[in-house]
Structure 1
Amino acid sequence: MSFKSVLLASLLLTLSACVVPPLPGQTTQFGSRLSELSASALLNELTRVAALSPEQRRRELAALDNERRLDDAKRFQQAALLEREDSVDAFERSLKSLAMIDDVDPRARTLLDLMKKSLSARIELRQQTARAQELQDKLDQIKALEKTLQQRNTLPKSP
């Protein structure tokens, strides 16, 4: 070993001794703090997506769909873009994207949970609206049948 490598090793050992240990109960997360999504970043992304025109949203969504691997920020962007679409399939894809996001701070987790609840409620509303329309159509058919039966019964019985 040369003198420089011994000196470097001793300096690194000295510097590593100066590191403050984590508090009890606090887990050490070295790289995750940098990649963690914050609530303000998520809100800014929602605001940005809300300001986009439908064509811009489609272009961004197509670009995200073409990517093979999405990080949490891009998954959230995809979910926000899909949330602005007006179909149950888009809502379900948005829910799946939100479910895959796992590295967020507690405030951002609350925002994600609220978005999931909102999307679930919108899906349920669509399903209930479709069911109500189906029942209304059946009710109209029953009323039409009832009316024809009443007309048939009230026809004059001439010889």
Structure 2
Amino acid sequence: MTLKPLLLAGLLLTLGACAHVQDHPALRSVQIGSDAAMMLNELARVAALSPDQRKRELAALEGGRIDDVRRFQAAALLDREDSVEALERGLKNLNALSGIDERAQPLVEQMKKSFRARIELKVQAARAQELQDKLEQIKALEKSLQQRSTPPARP
């Protein structure tokens, strides 16, 4: 009695392994080698990396002459950095891209806009901090001058 269900389960598993699985139509419409899909996958991969892994990969990419794929990888890695210099290098890498298809072009343009906006924001923040420091110095100087000009009170 217990042998029949086991035999039936084994037979069904064997037949299931021989079955031909059809491709999903949605997957066929996306080209595996398209620049847009590759770039989105690269952005997702870089987002999942730790800071140390990003630094190691960036150091490996900056070793020599690189193609468009490597330039985009370097730009994606530099996108995660906070310094203005890193953002400028990332923008330079994006500007050097030459052979990208029309579906990837909007992604690259958005990344360029993002780099430019972040660079501008960092420069403005640095300038605002510099002005704030100067304002504090002026206030301190004004306070010390007021204290000097006031005659000491005699008891």
Aligned to 1:56: 53
1:91-141 Cα offsets, whole Å, 9 max, x none, are: 111111101111112221111111111111111111111111110011101
Amino acid at match of 2:102: P
Q: CA deviation at 1:157?
A: 6.2
Q: CA deviation at 1:37?
A: 5.0
Q: Structure 1: which 5+ residue stretches go unaligned?
A: 1-33
Amino acid at match of 1:38: D
State yes or no: 1:134 paired with 2:130: yes
Q: 1:104 aligns with which of 100, 107, 120?
A: 100
CA distance in 2, matches of 1:141, 1:95: 36
CA distance in 1, matches of 2:119, 2:108: 16
Higher RCO (CA 8 Å, separation ≥ 6 residues): 1
1:47-67 Cα offsets, whole Å, 9 max, x none, are: 00000011111111111112x
TM-score with structure 1 length normalisation? 0.71
Amino acid at match of 2:82: D
Q: SS where residue 85 of structure 1 aligns?
A: coil
RMSD: 1.8
The percent identity for this pair of structures is 63
Amino acid at match of 1:61: L
The within-5 A match list for 1:141-152 is 141-152=137-148
State yes or no: 1:82 paired with 2:82: no
Amino acid at match of 2:151: L
Amino acid at match of 1:43: L
CA distance in 1, matches of 2:57, 2:71: 12
**8 Å Cα contact 1:49/1:81 also seen in 2:** yes
State yes or no: 1:42 paired with 2:39: yes
